[in-house]
Amino acid sequence: MLRPRIIPCLLVKNNGLVKTVQFVAPKYVGDPINAVRIFNEKEVDEIFVVDIDATTQGREPNYDLIGKLAAECRMPLCYGGGVKTVAQVERIIGMGVEKVAVSSAAVDSPRLIADVARAVGSQSVVVVIDTKKKRFGGAYEVRTHNGTRVTGKSPVEFAQEMECLGAGEIVINSIDHDGVMKGYDLALASRVREAITLPMTVLGGAGSLQDIENLIDTFGIVGAAAGSLFVFKGVYRAVLINYPSSADKDALFT
């Protein structure tokens, strides 16, 4: 039986685990490999790791880190950061990673998604859509390169295009809600959910298990991804790797 997935999202910068607020001011919070070890013990549903500097710095994916993550993970792993070619995706999948996330390259070269889907299967192709509200008018737009590059694309139309090209999953990420911990952008997620039939994961804004419950109550089978919620604890945001227990998850799903 399919169930919602609760997914820690780990951001990596200079091989360290960091957390951002609205895509800026990355705060070092620890070692990503150690975090994965802890999440192993907590039996997480899936884990999503993103190298936030690879694309902006024009780097290849960090294969050394990917290898260490794949060797350590006892849960499905999705990796993103610097992915631009079919060969890169094939190499990452060959290292034992279940899914590869593509963001800016999907905007710059949409046909890449079709090529990757043919090479490794749609089930391994995740398109991340980083989205921010325009300053005037309130419309949503897709952004890349850590939110610094405006594309002029609608996230809804772009998600539809990615589905047609063979993506297996869409991650809709709210830049405005990133790290704020005041709840997901349900309005944004609703627009995308109504437009596509693919599995969808929502990222950006979760500050409590109630936020995850609200997301699941609204959409049913959905991926609920979060960063701050699973690495910070309390009002002073002390660093503490955490994840809901099996009992807590069962309560969320009922």
DSSP labels, 70-98 = HHH-SS-EEEESS--SHHHHHHHHHTT-S
- pTM reported for the whole predicted model: 0.96
What residues form DSSP beta bridges with 101? 80, 126
Q: What residue ranges define each of the domains in the chain, with the CATH number in brackets? A: 5-138+147-253 (3.20.20.70)
130 is an active site residue: yes
| pLDDT by position in tens, the chain (length 254) | 578 999 999 999 999 999 999 999 999 999 999 999 999 999 999 999 999 999 999 999 999 999 999 999 999 999 999 999 999 999 999 999 999 999 999 999 999 999 999 999 999 999 999 999 998 778 999 999 999 999 999 999 999 999 999 999 999 999 999 999 999 999 999 999 999 999 999 999 999 999 999 999 999 999 999 999 999 987 668 889 999 998 888 888 87
- Taking alpha carbons only, the member of 63, 18, 8 closest to residue 40 is 8
Catalytic position from the list 130, 178, 185, 211: 130
Contact between 78 and 92 (Cβ < 8 Å) = no
